[in-house]
Structure 1
Amino acid sequence: MPLLARSVLTPLHIDVRRGAVADLATILADGRISAGGDVAVVVGPGQGERIAELIRPTLGSADVFTVAGGTLQAADDLEGKLRARSYDAVVGIGGGKTIDVAKYSATRRGLPMVSVATSLANDGIASPVASLITDGLKGSYGVHIPIAVIVDLDFVESGPERHNRAGIGDVVSNISALADWELARVVRGEPVDGLAASLARAGAEALINHPGDMGDDAFVTVLAEALISSGLAMAICGTSRPSSGGCHEIMHAVDALFPGTASHGELAGLGALFCTWLRGDTYRFGQMVSCLARHKLPVTPADVGLTDEQFVDAVIFAPRTRPDRYTILEHLALSPSDVRARLADYAGAIHDRLG
């Protein structure tokens, strides 16, 4: 008999709304995650500590651990602390670095993990991937998808606006990543998971066509749900392919060559825009330029403090960050002089559209 369906790992609970954090104890109990609140709460140096104090009265049995840096060493140290006693789950509260440390440590300990996002900077809030720094370089590690994902719009609103806007760039980059995946299918016969692709594409399309901004709850909800959809897409196919192509290769290259330049989402959006230009897709290029510029996200190397020559170096280095991945960058195999010429044309196209 043919297989007529497949099982897909997804969070048991997803909640995007104002006031969601106050219901954390109820969510843990109702979801059979932790009836008595015996959880390890992992917070970062920002809003996480404030949220931990908010939930402490209803989670009296919880232990709170503070982490910083988003490094593999921080995750290993946390894993050691989780061995002190038995926990029902790990609750990561904060931005992407804190959540990635919590995801990795929980996976190593074999514990379910609850993601409580206080910012919308990237799709790590619900993905089966933890991005951690080791020896100065950021690496991606496979982890279990969070058992619950909570986004409280009150805390998102009070966080740094630039961090939240960066998530727009990460979602928009799905469009370029999916084009790269399709290119790999055509050229190398790489299989494309249609369900994963449709989830990643739907979130990006909803966001790129939404007229709202970060001051609009409806828009922020779409952004949060699009980031969650990206994470689910990766979990469905077991790879970051639906959300990571040449765009993220450029992002990782900039991180490696010029650390501290800009955030994950800002660089992913810029990388996606340049890859779309290389692909010759003028329709998508126009859509993406308009969206990124409207949301005050970078569209040129200068917008993130890079010279043209530094950006050329990053594009040349980019394929080395993901040796197994086939994208428009590997397909074109541009020389430094080729990239300089394409970048000059790209700058002209940006100027024509934005003035």
Structure 2
Amino acid sequence: MPLLARTVNTPLAIEVRRGAIAELGALLADRRISAGGDVAIVVGPGQGEKIAELCRPGLGAADVFHIAGGSLESANELGDLLRQRNYDAVVGIGGGRTIDTAKYAAARYGIPMVSVATSLANDGIASPVASLEHHGRKGSYGVHIPIAVVVDLDFVEDGPDRQTLAGIGDAVSNINAVSDWELAHRVRGEPIDGLAVTLARTGAEALINHPGTINDDDFLTTLAEALIMGGLSMAVCGSSRPASGGCHEISHAVDELFPGSASHGAQVGLGALFCTFLREEHGRFAQLAGCLERHGLPRLPADIGLTGEQFLDVLMLAPSTRPDRYTILEHLALDREQARERLADYVGALAKL
């Protein structure tokens, strides 16, 4: 008998609205995640502590742990703290570093994890991946997908605009990641997951075509949903393939050669635009370039403080950052002089838009 369906792990609850955090206790009880509020609340710097106090009335039995997250060491330290009591769930409140730390620690001991995002900087809010530093280098670690995802637009609005703009770059880069995956499927026969592609591309398409700005609730909701769908796409196929292509290879190379140049989202947005140009997808290139320009995101190496020669260094290193991944960068295998010509053409194409 043929297999007629498959089971996909997704969060039990997704809340994207204003005032969502104040009702966190009710949400956990309603979804039978924690009826009595026996949870570990993990907060980082910034708005995390303020939010912990806001949701405490509905989570009276909770323990609050303050962390400086972002590293494998801090995640293991948090995991040791979680062993001291039986918790119904771990509630990570904050930005990407805090949430990734909480995801890893919760997964280590098999505890459900609730993601409460105070910013929309990347798709880590709902993904089965934790990005953590270890011995000075950032690595990606597989974890359980959050059992619930909460985004309160009140706190996103109060956060730095640069974080929200970074989220736009991260979300729209999925367009490029999917195109790179489809290229690998055509050229090398790499298996492709249609559901993962649909989730990743649908969220990115909605964002690219949205006329609003980060000052609009409707746009912020679309951004949050695009990031969440990007995270779910990775859970569906069991890898980061639908959300990470040549765009992320370029960003990884920037991080290695010129750390601190820009946010992850800004770098992958630029990388996605350049890779789209390399694939000669002219209509998509103009569409993506227009989106990045509309939101004030980088389109040229100079926009993230890199010279043309430095960006060529990045392009030469990029394929080695993910040796198992086949993208337009590996497909073309440009040498430095060929890359210099393509970069000049790219700059010229942007000038004509």
- Answer whether contact 1:138 1:252 (CA < 8 A) is retained: no
1:350 is aligned to 350
Partner deviation per Cα, 1:68-116 (whole Å, 9 max, x = no partner): 2411111111111111211111001011111111111100011000000
Q: CA deviation at 1:343?
A: 1.0
Q: Which amino acid aligns with 2:228?
A: I
Partners of 1:311 and 1:69 in 2: CA distance: 30
1:58 partnered with 2:58 = yes
- Answer whether contact 2:11 2:149 (CA < 8 A) is retained: yes
Q: Where in structure 2 are the equivalents of 1:1-355 lying within 5 Å?
A: 1-353=1-353
Q: Which amino acid aligns with 1:344?
A: A
Q: Which amino acid aligns with 1:6?
A: R
- Answer whether contact 2:23 2:58 (CA < 8 A) is retained: no
Q: Which amino acid aligns with 1:121?
A: A
Q: Which amino acid aligns with 2:129?
A: V
Partners of 1:267 and 1:135 in 2: CA distance: 23
* SS of residue paired to 2:177: helix
Q: CA deviation at 1:256?
A: 1.5
Q: Which amino acid aligns with 2:316?
A: I
Partners of 1:250 and 1:295 in 2: CA distance: 21
Task: Specify whether residues 338 and 69 from structure 1 end up closer, same or farther in structure 2 by C-alpha distance, changes over 3 A only.
Answer: farther
Q: Which amino acid aligns with 2:66?
A: T
Partners of 2:335 and 2:94 in 1: CA distance: 41
Partner deviation per Cα, 1:288-327 (whole Å, 9 max, x = no partner): 1000010011111111111111211111111111111000
Cα root mean square deviation, aligned: 0.9
Partners of 1:81 and 1:246 in 2: CA distance: 38
- Answer whether contact 1:275 1:329 (CA < 8 A) is retained: yes
Partners of 1:81 and 1:317 in 2: CA distance: 39
Partners of 1:259 and 1:71 in 2: CA distance: 17
- Answer whether contact 1:40 1:87 (CA < 8 A) is retained: yes
* SS of residue paired to 1:314: helix
Q: Which amino acid aligns with 2:272?
A: A
* SS of residue paired to 1:275: helix
* SS of residue paired to 1:75: helix
Deviates more, 1:285-294 or 1:66-75: 66-75
For these two proteins, the number of residue pairs brought into alignment is 353
- Answer whether contact 2:69 2:75 (CA < 8 A) is retained: no
Partners of 1:195 and 1:342 in 2: CA distance: 33
Deviates more, 1:176-185 or 1:76-85: 76-85
Q: Following TM superposition, where does structure 1 have runs of at least 4 consecutive aligned residues deviating by more than 4 angstroms?
A: none
Partners of 2:270 and 2:133 in 1: CA distance: 22
Q: Which amino acid aligns with 1:226?
A: A
Q: CA deviation at 1:258?
A: 1.3
Q: Which amino acid aligns with 1:120?
A: L
TM-score, normalising length: structure 2: 0.98
Partner deviation per Cα, 1:245-286 (whole Å, 9 max, x = no partner): 000111111111211111111111010001011111111110
Partner deviation per Cα, 1:174-209 (whole Å, 9 max, x = no partner): 111011001100111001100110111110111101
* SS of residue paired to 1:210: coil
* SS of residue paired to 2:204: helix
- Answer whether contact 2:69 2:101 (CA < 8 A) is retained: no
> Percent same amino acid at aligned positions?
71
* SS of residue paired to 2:155: helix
Partners of 1:230 and 1:323 in 2: CA distance: 22
* SS of residue paired to 2:311: helix
Partners of 2:122 and 2:309 in 1: CA distance: 27
Partners of 1:37 and 1:131 in 2: CA distance: 28
* SS of residue paired to 1:289: helix
Partners of 2:350 and 2:111 in 1: CA distance: 47
TM-score, normalising length: structure 1: 0.98
Unpaired stretches in structure 1, ≥5 consecutive residues: none
